[in-house]
Structure 1
Amino acid sequence: MAGNSDPLTPRAKLAVTAGKAVAAASRAAGRGSGSVIGGRVALRLDPDLLGRLAQNLDVVLVSATNGKTTTTRLIAEALRAAGPVVSNALGANMPAGITSALAGGSDAKFGVIEVDEKYLAGVARDTAPKCIALLNLSRDQLDRAAETRMLAENWREGLAGSKAVVVANCDDPLVVWAASSSPNVIWVAAGQMWKDDAWSCPSCGGVMQRPGDDWFCGECGFRRPTPTWALSGDHVLDPHGSAWPIHLQLPGRANKANAASSAAVAAVFGVPPQVALERMYQVQAVAGRYDVVQFQNRDLRLLLAKNPAGWLETFSLIDPPPTPVILSVNARGADGTDTSWLWDVDYTRLTGHPIFVIGDRKLDLAVRLEVANQHFQVCENLDQAVQMCPPGRIEVIANYTAFQDLRRRVGN
């Protein structure tokens, strides 16, 4: 498929041109990158544009509740060893944003595309991907997203019979159930810290047994498949049993897991693990995540955590006490307006850290921290919280729109 010079139809060219013009106008007006509005206009003019733009690309789709933006970046870096890549690197992961990203990559060989979980089946239908990476499924945006098993069912039905090679995390039962309808699956043992969304069997509803790192349903026999790739400490084990060191500037176990899945995807396209993993070292921060910024003579590390699984992983990578921690939570449309998920997060992991609480829903978070017996102070804003911390490193953890607010305030 890649390399065919199948020109776009006149209508598709008009749609691309109009979309770019609208995006440029949006940027000039200071209203963001313009990628979503540009993509919407382009799709209105040519509803089949996404498929047309994808037809000459080797497409990789990446979907998950957590880690998809980072994994998309890692895969894109790895595949650049084999040719030019177009990607929605800033995380506009619904059809309009994806269309806009692909419209900017006329000379690309690979399209590495992050896809919102709810849109995966439709985007896969439109883009005929060569590979689909499925990392995890957990609770997120409780007021809007269907519960996780319904998402898994949507994936399972949408990917049934897909020609794509599916690279899937065998440690997440929901992902395994979703991927099992595909004829060609590569299983990766990427781990799963957050297990609270996978205690019942997605196949029959029975209780999941979890001896050690294994899992199975005692009632219907649904069980963890045998992986051919695995994360093992600081190494990726390939199907031949070779161990390749992971070279990352990104922190934490979750990003090593993302690298393991990314190496398995790169191998589908002939990029060897050593080359793929070395190239991933180029990624220092992803859309501001993990950036360390200077602000009021302190070093703030900006960490995004959108849901219980994400907070759990983030707590595992922050510096030890007494490093101060600033927590910021909003509940705007893009976050989901239901903050009851705060009660699923184990805040006792912050014991010993001075904690400062900001954001639209700081009082919701304060009540939760009080119940968890944590010492904290509620602050009006980031400036006040930072001023209450000693000079040096501060870990700042925020959910989605709170994270955007922080980046604007610190000029990142």
Structure 2
Amino acid sequence: MAANPEQAGPSATLPARAKLAVTAGKAAAAVSRAAGRGSGSVIGGRVALKLDPDLLKTLAENLDVVLVSATNGKTTTTRLIAEALRAAGPVVSNALGANMPAGITSALAGGTDARFGVIEVDEKYLPMVARDTRPKAVALLNLSRDQLDRSSETRMLAEKWRESLQHSDAVIIANADDPLVTWAASSSRRVVWVAAGQAYREDAWSCPSCGGVMQRPEDDWFCPQCGFRRPQPHWALHGAFVTDPQGGNWPIQLQLPGRANLANAASSAAVAAVFGVHPQIALQRMQAVQAVAGRYESVELNGREVRLLLAKNPAGWLETFSLIDPAPAPVVLSVNALSADGTDTSWLWDVDYERLVGHPVFVMGQRKLDLAVRLEVAGVHFQVVDTIQQAVAMAPPGRIEAIANYTAFQQLRRDVKN
């Protein structure tokens, strides 16, 4: 599966047009950073692709590419896979989560000596990126509702995945506990099934194959109408252990919290094994990951510990609530509705905010009043604030759990570090 380790990285043998595009993209990114407009990866990629529309395909030619796609957990799993594969050779990755073609192109352009490309891909763009990069492996973790104003309905996304992967030579590492993911992957030639669990099931009650009502007994699922059912997994998560296809049980010891990250690590170990990295080595390397693009990071603000948690959709909020300290730990919630978040916030009504009863809650962000109405209905006591500094000053003792969606999370990170 692996590329020749003596092979040079992607930019060593680039044609002249591609070299020009890479150089121009890096210059545009540098200008963006100097202007304080972020990392510059997106604008750099856009400029490069404008000059050479085939640049992504060219950059991926000499890499063993792994694509990671899901509604939740893409960035963390990408980081875990990258750490595991570094046991076998240099890795280039879009570690900061720029997961559309421009950001991916920009990331690969920096991998001059890389052997592996570990790439997070937005669900909508997976077919396009898979076509251009010809991946050796594709990890499919989960599918649930997200950014309804931009993304397709979940079954439509699953159908696009299914159509794009059915003729692929890639090994598909897929979550057997998610019916939508299973249906998307089941048309593929080579599938490694991972029993990684599914906490949020509200988008998986109808059969993606025939539309029938799914039956969901414990640790299983099936459609009584068409017979579509959960496949027998090759890898399985059992508590804090993952079982490999040979029956070996390997402990997962992460610095990242929560059941969802244990599932991410199990899938990552299955991906690493495709490239010959032993589960013990892969999981040991994953222990080094403490935070991912600021997620799960604890910072000190005005003498108080604040932990930063990202939650972008109902499934993500459900997983995040399982991480917070028990009541009466103070909680800050921040929600925006900018284009990067999705402008439709109707998903707030699908989140089980009743779990926050007993916590002192502080609400902020662009859509704080929408969130306040939702909490009022849920019976949660809250106070509306304008800044994280206000919330910290008013919060009772205890570590403060700050939960935010995408752009609100980025703003929180800036605010606590300034």
Q: Could you say which TM-score interval applies, normalised by the shorter chain?
A: over 0.9
The 3-state SS of whatever aligns with 1:196 is coil
- Name 2:84's counterpart in structure 1: 78
- Deviations, residues 86-132 of structure 1 (Å, cap 9, x unaligned): 00000000011101100101110000000000000110010010000
Instruction: Confirm or deny that 1:104 pairs with 2:104.
Output: no
- Name 1:93's counterpart in structure 2: 99
Question: C-alpha displacement at 1:157, in angstroms?
Answer: 0.6
Instruction: Confirm or deny that 1:176 pairs with 2:179.
Output: no
Tell me how far apart the structure 2 counterparts of residues 312 and 194 of structure 1 sit (CA, whole Å): 7
Tell me how far apart the structure 2 counterparts of residues 392 and 171 of structure 1 sit (CA, whole Å): 36
Letter in 2 for 1:175: V
Tell me how far apart the structure 2 counterparts of residues 88 and 235 of structure 1 sit (CA, whole Å): 28
Tell me how far apart the structure 1 counterparts of residues 131 and 300 of structure 2 sit (CA, whole Å): 45
Instruction: Confirm or deny that 1:245 pairs with 2:251.
Output: yes
The 3-state SS of whatever aligns with 1:188 is strand
- Deviations, residues 290-337 of structure 1 (Å, cap 9, x unaligned): 000000111000000000000000001111111101111111111111
User: Contact 1:191–1:257 at 8 Å: present in 2 too?
Assistant: yes
Tell me how far apart the structure 2 counterparts of residues 401 and 47 of structure 1 sit (CA, whole Å): 29
User: Which stretch of the first structure deviates more once superposed, 24-33 or 180-189?
Assistant: 24-33
Question: C-alpha displacement at 1:247, in angstroms?
Answer: 1.5
- Name 2:232's counterpart in structure 1: 226
- Name 1:52's counterpart in structure 2: 58
- Name 1:383's counterpart in structure 2: 389
Return 5+ residue gaps in structure 1 as ranges: none
Q: How does 1:361-372 map to 2 (within 5 A)?
A: 361-372=367-378
Tell me how far apart the structure 2 counterparts of residues 10 and 372 of structure 1 sit (CA, whole Å): 60
User: Which stretch of the first structure deviates more once superposed, 374-383 or 145-154?
Assistant: 374-383
Tell me how far apart the structure 2 counterparts of residues 257 and 277 of structure 1 sit (CA, whole Å): 12
- Name 2:22's counterpart in structure 1: 16
Tell me how far apart the structure 2 counterparts of residues 263 and 366 of structure 1 sit (CA, whole Å): 41
- Name 2:357's counterpart in structure 1: 351
User: Contact 1:83–1:109 at 8 Å: present in 2 too?
Assistant: yes
Tell me how far apart the structure 1 counterparts of residues 279 and 303 of structure 2 sit (CA, whole Å): 41
The 3-state SS of whatever aligns with 1:322 is coil
The 3-state SS of whatever aligns with 2:268 is helix
User: Contact 2:329–2:397 at 8 Å: present in 1 too?
Assistant: no
Tell me how far apart the structure 1 counterparts of residues 367 and 311 of structure 2 sit (CA, whole Å): 15
- Name 2:290's counterpart in structure 1: 284
Instruction: Confirm or deny that 1:135 pairs with 2:144.
Output: no
Letter in 2 for 1:169: N
- Deviations, residues 141-189 of structure 1 (Å, cap 9, x unaligned): 1111111001001100111110000000000000001001110000000
The 3-state SS of whatever aligns with 2:145 is coil
The 3-state SS of whatever aligns with 1:250 is coil
Question: C-alpha displacement at 1:4, in angstroms?
Answer: 4.0
Q: How does 1:195-234 map to 2 (within 5 A)?
A: 195-234=201-240
Question: C-alpha displacement at 1:372, in angstroms?
Answer: 0.9
Q: How does 1:290-369 map to 2 (within 5 A)?
A: 290-369=296-375
- Deviations, residues 250-309 of structure 1 (Å, cap 9, x unaligned): 000000000000000000000000000010011100111000000011100000000000
Return 5+ residue gaps in structure 2 as ranges: none
Q: Structure 2 residue aligned with 1:124, among 111, 120, 130?
A: 130
The 3-state SS of whatever aligns with 2:399 is strand
- Name 2:170's counterpart in structure 1: 164
Provide the aligned C-alpha RMSD in A: 1.0
User: Which stretch of the first structure deviates more once superposed, 131-140 or 38-47?
Assistant: 38-47
Letter in 2 for 1:191: G
Tell me how far apart the structure 1 counterparts of residues 145 and 400 of structure 2 sit (CA, whole Å): 28
Letter in 2 for 1:92: A
Letter in 2 for 1:401: T
Question: C-alpha displacement at 1:380, in angstroms?
Answer: 2.1
Tell me how far apart the structure 1 counterparts of residues 112 and 311 of structure 2 sit (CA, whole Å): 34
The 3-state SS of whatever aligns with 1:282 is coil
User: Contact 1:86–1:102 at 8 Å: present in 2 too?
Assistant: yes
Question: C-alpha displacement at 1:392, in angstroms?
Answer: 3.5
TM-score if structure 2 supplies the norm length?
0.97
- Deviations, residues 337-359 of structure 1 (Å, cap 9, x unaligned): 11110110111111221111111
The 3-state SS of whatever aligns with 1:279 is helix
Q: Structure 1 residue aligned with 2:409, among 393, 397, 403?
A: 403
The 3-state SS of whatever aligns with 2:403 is strand
Tell me how far apart the structure 2 counterparts of residues 129 and 60 of structure 1 sit (CA, whole Å): 6
Tell me how far apart the structure 2 counterparts of residues 178 and 375 of structure 1 sit (CA, whole Å): 42
Percent of aligned positions that are identical: 78
Question: C-alpha displacement at 1:390, in angstroms?
Answer: 2.6
Letter in 2 for 1:157: E
Question: C-alpha displacement at 1:391, in angstroms?
Answer: 4.0
Tell me how far apart the structure 2 counterparts of residues 26 and 45 of structure 1 sit (CA, whole Å): 18
Letter in 1 for 2:293: A
User: Contact 1:300–1:396 at 8 Å: present in 2 too?
Assistant: yes
User: Contact 2:330–2:398 at 8 Å: present in 1 too?
Assistant: no
Tell me how far apart the structure 1 counterparts of residues 19 and 369 of structure 2 sit (CA, whole Å): 51
Letter in 2 for 1:201: C
- Deviations, residues 27-67 of structure 1 (Å, cap 9, x unaligned): 11111111111111111111111111111110000000000
The 3-state SS of whatever aligns with 1:314 is helix
Q: Structure 1 residue aligned with 2:268, among 262, 278, 288?
A: 262
User: Contact 1:297–1:391 at 8 Å: present in 2 too?
Assistant: no
User: Contact 1:21–1:38 at 8 Å: present in 2 too?
Assistant: yes
Tell me how far apart the structure 1 counterparts of residues 324 and 387 of structure 2 sit (CA, whole Å): 21
TM-score if structure 1 supplies the norm length?
0.98
Q: How does 1:184-199 map to 2 (within 5 A)?
A: 184-199=190-205
User: Contact 2:294–2:308 at 8 Å: present in 1 too?
Assistant: yes
